[in-house]
Structure 1
Amino acid sequence: MRLMKRAGLAVQALRVDSERAYLDALGRGGDDGPWDLVLSSCRLPGLTGLAALERLKALGHMIPFVLVSDASDEPMAVEAMRQGASDYLLKDNLTRLVPAVLKAMERHVQARDKQQTELALLKSRQQLRELAQHLQNNLEQERAAIAREIHDDVGGALTALKFDLAWIARHTTSADVFERTQTAADTLTQAFDATRRLIHNLHPAILEEGLVPALQWITGTFEKRTGIRASFHSSHAQPELARSVLLTVFRTAQEALTNVSKHAQASQVTLDLTLTAGMLSLEVSDNGRGMSQAELNKTQSFGLRGLRERADTIGGWLDISSAPAGTTLILALPLKHKDKANADPSASTLREVRSKDDPTFWGDL
């Protein structure tokens, strides 16, 4: 104490010489107590310096621990350093005491600040994940609500209009009026097709049948629309999935196929869905031109970035690898029990009699 006071340090010290008194002192004043430093001899009555360090670590304290050793106890001091002591000194040469104490306390402050910063960063990241998940859920719910309104309101109005045109065509004797009704009917058919596409893009009703049927359907329609050979394989017929997982896998497959049709110049694409060891993985591979590292890392790649963020919000990850022989996208998600609370209870209103080619819309009228 005299050496530290001579160096200009204002020291308030408590001397203890038993394990009970040591533990009582450590328990005062919160996580790290009122203490900035533990200065310990190698041997105390019933307690070694190494045991004192172990007790300190067991309590979860980050207080710097400096060991003062006899020459004969140097191996113990070295072991204490290996287990996390800040420093050790020999009793017959305490000239290093003040510099060692100051350095230990400085490192402690730095480590504490770093830990607090990391904890704040982890908390912030968790909050961002929760916000992203909340926004994704709201987005999907809003899409479903808009799809229902289009189906009920626009679809109903178009259907009524089609019946009216058919009535006029049956009852008119004018060739000009009949021709106009046929032209209007063709325009109406185009409006039906546009409405089908809108509903499909907003909220495909095939999702209500499960992930495997949805991926089978999206693969089949992709091949019909683009002419690119597409195949889908699944290790399970109908896995029970939380709605967040189902939507993430479907939207990932949708975005991946869109990228293949736009950029890959591929003639074949394969989707593989695998469930094993509590993980669900989707692999989308094509035989196209591949992507350069610059293309994979470009700042404007918001589609892929959005998929990564969506996967991250539910604890998963997405990886893309590319070569001249093609590109492979892998999505991996941890599985939980099916989240019925996240299901959209009103989405069943979209389950109308479906046409052969488009299960997201009402049947032919």
Structure 2
Amino acid sequence: MGNPVKVLHLEDSEIDHRLLVRAVHESGLQAQFLRLDEQAAFMDALHTQSFDIILMDFRLPGFTALEAWSQVQSLPSHPPCVIVSGAIGEQAAVSAIQTGISDYLHKDRIAEIGRVIQRAMHLHKIEEERIKAQQALSLSEQRIRELARHLQTSLEAERAAISREIHDDIGGSLTALKLDLAWIKRHSNHQPTLTRLVAAEEMLSLALAATQRIMQNTRPAILDQGLSACVEWLVAGHSRRTGKTVNLINDLTSEALPDAFRLAAYRIVQEALTNAGKYAPESDVSVEVSDAGGTLTIEIRDSGPGFELSRLQSSRGFGLKGLSERAESIGGWLDISSTPKRGTSITLTAPLSWAADNRQGDSRE
């Protein structure tokens, strides 16, 4: 049988209340009723008791069903509400349902009240489950974003540590070895030995160049010189690789950015130029950087083949998706615009207030 349905009935007519109770019982639905017709009593019951459903006449002494519904909606978790009235037109009934009221039943059709109650409760349960599922999904997405930010932070920290180790250990050892080879070369007259020394110096130069390249790819020292220097360095590197001149417009007026902010902007420009070099090597590229209006804006445009934006949803790659995460990590957002045969534009927008707030937080630590 289950527990009876707890019904709050807002009705000022005792006769109409009895007719509704009888109709509910005749429908086979087990229910307990509380009838109220005063707003103060309704408010008290609403906050001290729990109900499975609220049935409301449209007009009550001193207040209306819509006013009652606004109070019900203010509860963290509220039951469904159904208007049962004869003093309401069809348009008013539609407007009431649009505000979130579950249903409307004319008193002339009171025999249908059992079915209406069950349907309203069923739909309300479905809606509650949908909201819970949506909240769980939102929480899961938030945790994924937090995990992505944590992984990016950890990755950059690991890159910085590797870069320091390469510079301090491997780089230092190779430099010392180069000095030793130079000393041996100056103090040796044995031609076969000198020939081997020249070959060793060449291999050593290649090793030193490799360490420099690895350090630049992991955590380039240029980051310590400010965002302007970073962008100029990336643009120069792109020009060397592709042989194409990049049009750079640098309108930055401040370099006072925290490391996380500067690093995220650097990686976004780096990835955007890498993609342009990979997919549009012959295209013209322009980079514009500005901090006007208290907002950092970086736009990278190319005149390459472009692509359908729908591919971003189906792509398994995380390049551009990772850029969006980086933008969010500094309180900004990334806009990607592309049209086949008309090029691609990637724009980072981030409020500098985020940078100021986080710099203050860093100083407190």
* SS of 1:142 mapped into structure 2: helix
2:349 to 332, 335, 342: 332
Q: Structure 1 residues 56-65 or 252-261, which shifts more?
A: 56-65
2:203 is matched with which residue?
187
Q: Is the 8 A contact 1:322 1:328 kept in 2?
A: no
Q: Does 1:9 align with 2:59?
A: no
SS of 2:254's equivalent in the other structure is coil
Letter in 1 for 2:187: H
Deviates more, 1:129-138 or 1:238-247: 238-247
Partner residue in 2 for 1:347? none
Distance (Å, rounded) in 1 between the aligned partners of 2:76 and 2:310: 46
Report the CA distance between 1:165 and its aligned residue. Answer: 1.0
Structure 1 distance, partners of 2:31, 2:248, is 73
CA contact (8 A) 2:301 2:346 kept: yes
Contact 1:244 1:342 in 2 (8 A): no
**d(CA) in 2 for partners of 1:87, 1:292:** 44
Partner SS state of residue 151, structure 2: helix
Query: Does the Cα contact within 8 Å between 2:291 and 2:297 map onto a contact in 1?
Result: yes
Q: Is the 8 A contact 2:309 2:338 kept in 1?
A: no
Distance 1:224 1:116, change over 3 A: same
Distance 1:273 1:22, change over 3 A: same
Structure 2: distance between partners of 1:245 and 1:310:
9
Q: Is the 8 A contact 2:52 2:79 kept in 1?
A: yes
Partner of 1:22: 42
Aligned residues: 339
What residue number does 1:363 align with?
none
**Residue 203 of structure 2: SS of its match in structure 1?**
helix
Deviation at 1:151, TM superposition (A): 0.3
Letter of the aligned partner of 1:283 in structure 2?
E
How far apart, in 1, do the equivalents of 2:64 and 2:84 lie?
Answer: 11
CA displacement at 1:341 relative to structure 2: 8.2
Matching of residues 86-97 of structure 1 within 5 Å: 86-97=102-113
- Secondary structure in 1 matching 2:33: coil
How has the CA–CA distance of structure 1 residues 322 and 248 changed in structure 2, closer, same or farther, with 3 Å as cutoff? farther
Decide which moves more: 262-271 or 322-331.
322-331
Are 1:319 and 2:339 matched, yes or no? no
Flag the 1:89–1:325 CA change in 2: closer, same or farther, 3 A: closer
Asked if 2 retains the 8 angstrom alpha-carbon contact of 1:65 and 1:85, the reply is yes
Contact 2:323 2:334 in 1 (8 A): no
Aligned-partner residue type, residue 284 of structure 2:
Q
Change (3 A) 1:244 1:57: same
Partners of 2:306 and 2:92 lie apart in 1 by 59
SS state of the match for residue 83, structure 2? strand
SS at match of 2:111: coil
Which deviates the most, 317-326 or 190-199? Answer: 317-326
Residues in 1 aligned to 2:189 and 2:361: alpha-carbon distance in whole angstroms: 56
3-state SS in 2 of match to 1:27: helix
1:292 Cα deviation after fit: 5.4
Matches within 5 A, 1:1-365: 1-28=21-48, 34-71=50-87, 77=93, 79-276=95-292, 279-291=295-307, 299-314=315-330, 316-335=333-352, 336-338=354-356, 339-340=358-359
The alpha-carbon distance between structure 1 residues 226 and 90, as it changes in their structure 2 partners (threshold 3 A), is closer
- Alignment gaps of 5+ in structure 2: 1-20
Out of 332-341 and 37-46, give the one that drifted further.
332-341
CA distance in 1, matches of 2:91, 2:306: 59
TM value normalised by structure 1: 0.83
Contact 1:212 1:237 in 2 (8 A): no
Q: Mean alpha-carbon deviation: is it higher for 8-17 or for 191-200?
A: 8-17
Q: Which secondary structure does the structure 2 equivalent of 1:285 belong to?
A: strand
Question: 1:114/1:164 Cα in 2 relative to 1: closer, same or farther (>3 Å)?
Answer: same
Closer/same/farther in 2, CA of residues 91 and 302 from structure 1, 3 Å limit: closer
Match of 1:34, SS state, is coil
The 1-side partners of 2:62 and 2:246 are apart by 74
Q: Aligned partners of 1:325, 1:91: CA distance in 2, in Å?
A: 64
The CA distance in 2 between the partners of 1:68 and 1:74, in whole Å, is 13
**Equivalent-residue separation in structure 2 for 1:296 and 1:7 (angstroms):** 55
In structure 2, the partner of 1:353 is: none
When you count helix as a share of all residues, which structure comes out higher?
2
